Amino acid sequence: MIFFNEKIETLNRSELDALVEERIHYTVRYANEHSPFYRKWFKEHRIDPREIHTHEDLRELPIISGKSIRENQPPRTPDFRFKSVDWKDVFTLHETSGTSGNPKAFFLTWEDWQRYAEKYARIFVSQGLGPQDRVIVCASYGMNVGANTMTLAARDIGMTIIPEGKCTFPPRIIRDYQPTAIVGSIFKLLGLARKMAKENMPPQESSIKRLVIGGESFAQVSRAYLAELWGCDVYNSYGSTEGTMCGECTEINGLHVPEDLVHLDIYDPQMKDFVHDGDCGRIVLTTLLPVGAKSGTLLLNYDTDDTTVVVTRDRCKCGRTHMKIQNPQRESETFWVEHTPFNRVDVEQGVFQRENMEYLTGEYEAFLYGGEGETILRVSVECLDQHKADRKVVEENFLKAFFKYKPNLAEAYSSDVFKVIFNFVGPWELELYSIKGRPKRIVDRR
């Protein structure tokens, strides 16, 4: 199995663009007819939905955000104004984890499920998975869409799923069932590897041939370390309840976007304009519906708050023609010091320097403090053994990697305007362990 949907995944650029435009036109019309929010939105902005045909037309429309969804559902409004089918056609409803305010409600029809599943199926097949595989899913089966629709994707590929939901399962699961792949997050898979090593089951010698990670951005060094620990390839995926399901193929140089099902544009909020391929900006998403399809919640020009860069729209060595984007980063994890931005991933890059990993588990957290004319970044790292860690080596490696592409910050550091303080803690001593839910790796206390 090389492709899940060869015809669509290998369409040439002009055929793909034509399909996208047909679907933009239909989706906009569908939104006007079925989504109370968009009907009002078109009216307020004096947009004639019949006039929207191309993706350039789409770029002329305003941009909405998560706030728009929260303001158009209870308790703010009596009904869910993004819901775009009758209740009788809603198969499941979902909520996004509410890290920033109330959870957003999402309604899915059965057709939506099939489309979400197809996106995952294409990703899995592009990563070399097939009917011969047994896959442990360590993504949550709760109100999230991901794990559920991955499981449906497995049915369509013919794979076996082991629906653990969490990465805390006993290592005997791997010994007894000989799974070939695990879907999970970098940190959970690092923890699992340590647990297996302790139980005398080195992960490199296990049946696992591939890891699929998702749900967060990461530094390339942490991926490399994970691949080394497990002795296998590690592929990235980027999925969300909103329906972006992009994934790295075996080429591992960018994530393919399922362009026929979701349209992505890259926007610079400072310039208030869309950027060219190769430039970094925020991902703005539009659902694409095949003509005649029904959708429970659709989004037009939705700002995801994640940033990325379009790598290429040319045919990939794997044969797929759908465009590739860089590993997206969360805008909410970008911090500014001395007019210079850095992301959580930059801190992670410093932690995961290979030599550091002789002493560290990879778990870390950082805090930003502001004072009179100075900013302090306090980085806490979890040590394998607090007393044996070579602190000087870890600190030097961290600083070298962290400042590598940030000359402004390096200068602020050398003139003492920006200070970096290290804190070496023992296993399970990080503050984030005592916090419920998704841990925040960097907390801005300025």
Give least dist CB 319 to Zn ion, A.
7
Helices and strands counted in the chain (H then E): 13, 22
Least separation in angstroms between CB 125 and Zn ion? 11
Q: Counting contacts by CB under 5 A, is residue 320 touching Zn ion?
A: yes
Nearer to Zn ion, 8 or 293 (CB): 8
Question: Rounded to an integer, what distance in angstroms lies between the CA atom of residue 445 and that of residue 427?
Answer: 24
**Sole window of 61-69, 155-163, 185-193, 251-259 interacting with Zn ion (rule: CB under 5 A):** 251-259
DSSP, residue by residue, 255-268: EEP-TTTEEEEEEE
Alpha carbons within 13 angstroms on the beta-carbon side of residue 280 total 11
The window from 127-135, 250-258, 287-295, 406-414 that contacts Zn ion (CB under 5 A) reads 250-258
Which residue, 203 or 328, has its beta carbon nearer to Zn ion?
A: 328
Residue 74, helix vs strand vs coil: coil
Q: Which stretches does DSSP call E strand in 144-232?
A: 160-162, 181-184, 210-214
Q: Segment contacting Zn ion (CB under 5 A): 148-156, 243-251, 306-314, 347-355?
A: 243-251
Q: What is the DSSP letter of 434?
A: G
Residues facing 367 on adjacent strands = 378, 443
The least distance separating Zn ion from the CB of residue 312, rounded to whole angstroms, comes to 10
d(CA 97, CA 75) in angstroms, rounded, equals 17
Of 192, 195, 91, 191, the residue nearest 148 (C-alpha): 91
What is the size of the binding site for Zn ion (CB under 5 A)? Answer: 5
CB of 318 to Zn ion, least distance (A): 3
Site string for Zn ion, 261-300 (x = CB under 5 A): ----------------------------------------
The two three-digit tokens of residue 429, written as one number = 């001593």
Q: Does 24 bind Zn ion (CB under 5 A)?
A: no
Q: Which of 129, 316, 323, 430 binds Zn ion (CB under 5 A)?
A: 316
Measured from the CB atom, the residue of 63 and 252 that comes closer to Zn ion is 252
Among 249, 337, 366, 381, the residue binding Zn ion under the rule CB under 5 A is 249
Give the nearest distance from C-beta 250 to Zn ion in angstroms.
7
Supply 418's token pair.
């920006």
Which of 318/410 has CB closer to Zn ion? 318
Out of 63, 275, 318, 425, the residue judged to bind Zn ion by CB under 5 A:
318
SS3 for 319-342, per residue?
CCCCCEECCCEEHHHEEEECCEEE
Contact window for Zn ion (CB under 5 A) among 41-49, 91-99, 312-320, 355-363? 312-320
What is the distance between the alpha carbons of residues 192 and 60, in angstroms, rounded to a whole number? Answer: 48
Residues 74-133 that bind Zn ion (CB under 5 A): none
Q: How many CB atoms lie within 10 A of CB 336?
A: 12
Taking the least distance from each CB to Zn ion, the nearer of 199 and 251 is 251
**CB closer to Zn ion, 125 vs 229:** 125
Would you count residue 255 as binding Zn ion (CB under 5 A)? no
The piece of 55-63, 130-138, 214-222, 249-257 that touches Zn ion (CB under 5 A) is 249-257
Site string for Zn ion, 324-343 (x = CB under 5 A): --------------------
Secondary structure class of 163 (helix, strand, coil)? coil
Torsion from C-alpha of 266, 269, 275, 279, nearest 10 degrees:
-80
User: β-pairing, 302-308 with 329-330?
Assistant: antiparallel
- Residues near Zn ion, by CB under 5 A: 249, 251, 316, 318, 320
